[in-house]
């Protein structure tokens, strides 16, 4: 656990390997609703990058947990409905209100040119802050619930944040990507700091560092936004510890994904 005395810092190697030092934020929670043994809370993380909102759906004593990054334009509150079933079955899920997604956390929509400008100036790009938010959220769950497995989950663009967060954060149990992909090392088309920055946010570069922890990749053959072959490539890049699942749907989670994911979480606990 990083203490408050740790100064926020990141390092990027010439080949785009990203590491971070992240002070643990202060968290304020507010109960929104209770259904049976499941409580829905609104959390506010105050850290070096500003306030970050999140929603936690959890039973009192969860057996396993996850930090979830929604896709572009989806606020954390949009996940409460389907995640109640996770809580009923014993899982705690903390959904981060991604910066720039239009929810309660301030920020701008994904803008790599703007982020590279911050990187070049030695500042924190927003995309790095989002990754740091997920790592801080994982630490909070461990602090609150003890040594239960905590997964990093993301869908669509959120799956890219989650992959890099899982690669950096060795305390996470593994990674789940839904309707997502890497960037196929497009950073190699550039030179110098631009190359390093673009590679550092690419799951195809950072993702292999998740192993030997498991990765679960879900993709629909009919996905109209990110073709399934890119999801398959990501699963291959992640190595032998990755599993690839197809589902009937289009883009993003559905009931089939939720059920399969909970089944996989239970298998992980049983092994």
CATH of the domain at 53: 3.40.50.1820
**Domain, as residue range, for 211:** 9-270
CA distance 156 to 101: 13
Could you tell me if residue 61 is inside a domain?
yes
Could you tell me if residue 2 is inside a domain?
no
In a 10 Å sphere around its CB, with 0-12 CB exposed, 13-18 middle and 19+ buried, how is residue 191 labelled? exposed
CA distance 16 to 248: 35
Asked if the model's pLDDT at residue 4 lies above 70, the reply is no
Give the tokens for residue 185.
């090392």
Task: List Cα–Cα distances, 110 to 7, 31, 119, 220, in angstroms.
Answer: 26, 30, 14, 24
Counting the structural domains of the chain, the total is 1
The mean per-residue pLDDT over the stretch 139-158 comes to 96
CA distance 206 to 6: 24
Asked if the model's pLDDT at residue 163 lies above 90, the reply is yes
Could you tell me if residue 243 is inside a domain?
yes
Query: Percentage of the chain surpassing pLDDT 70?
Result: 99
Could you tell me if residue 47 is inside a domain?
yes
Could you tell me if residue 77 is inside a domain?
yes
CA distance 166 to 164: 5
In a 10 Å sphere around its CB, with 0-12 CB exposed, 13-18 middle and 19+ buried, how is residue 156 labelled? buried
Could you tell me if residue 72 is inside a domain?
yes
Could you tell me if residue 241 is inside a domain?
yes
Radius of gyration for the alpha carbons in the chain, expressed in angstroms and rounded = 17
Q: Are 64 and 155 in contact (CB under 8 A)?
A: no
For residue 201, give the nearest of 91, 142, 113, 106 by alpha carbon.
Answer: 113
- What pTM, to 2 d.p., does this model score? 0.95
Give the tokens for residue 29.
């929670």
Tens of pLDDT, residue by residue over 205-262, are 999 999 999 999 999 999 999 999 999 999 999 999 999 999 999 999 999 999 999 9
DSSP conformation letters of 201-218: T-HHHHGGGGTTS-EEEE
Could you tell me if residue 82 is inside a domain?
yes
The mean per-residue pLDDT over the stretch 12-33 comes to 94
């Amino acid at each position: 656990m990083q203490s408050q005395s740790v100064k926020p810092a990141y390092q990027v190697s010439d080949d785009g390997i990203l590491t971070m030092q992240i002070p643990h934020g202060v968290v304020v929670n507010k109960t929104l609703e209770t259904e049976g043994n499941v409580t829905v809370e609104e959390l506010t993380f105050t850290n070096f990058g500003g306030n970050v909102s999140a929603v936690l759906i959890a039973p009192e004593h969860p057996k396993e947990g996850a930090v979830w990054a929604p896709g572009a334009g989806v606020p954390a509150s949009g996940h409460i409905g389907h995640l109640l079933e996770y809580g009923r079955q014993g899982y705690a899920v903390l959904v981060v209100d991604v910066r720039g997604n239009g929810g309660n956390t301030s920020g701008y929509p994904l803008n790599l040119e703007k982020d590279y400008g911050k990187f070049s100036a030695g500042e924190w790009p927003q995309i790095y802050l989002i990754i740091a938010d997920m790592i801080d959220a994982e630490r909070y769950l461990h602090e609150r619930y003890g040594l239960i497995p905590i997964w990093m989950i993301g869908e669509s663009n959120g799956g890219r944040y989650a992959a890099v967060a899982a690669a950096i954060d060795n305390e996470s149990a593994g990674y789940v990507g839904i309707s997502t992909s890497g960037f196929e090392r497009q950073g190699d088309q550039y030179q110098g700091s631009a190359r390093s920055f673009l590679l550092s946010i690419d799951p195809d570069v950072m993702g292999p560092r998740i192993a030997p922890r498991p990765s679960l990749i879900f993709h629909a053959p009919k996905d109209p936004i990110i073709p399934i072959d890119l999801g398959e490539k990501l699963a291959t890049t992640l190595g032998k510890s990755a599993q690839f699942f197809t589902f009937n749907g289009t883009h993003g989670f559905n009931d089939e994904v939720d059920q399969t994911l909970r089944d996989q979480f239970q298998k992980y606990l049983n092994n």
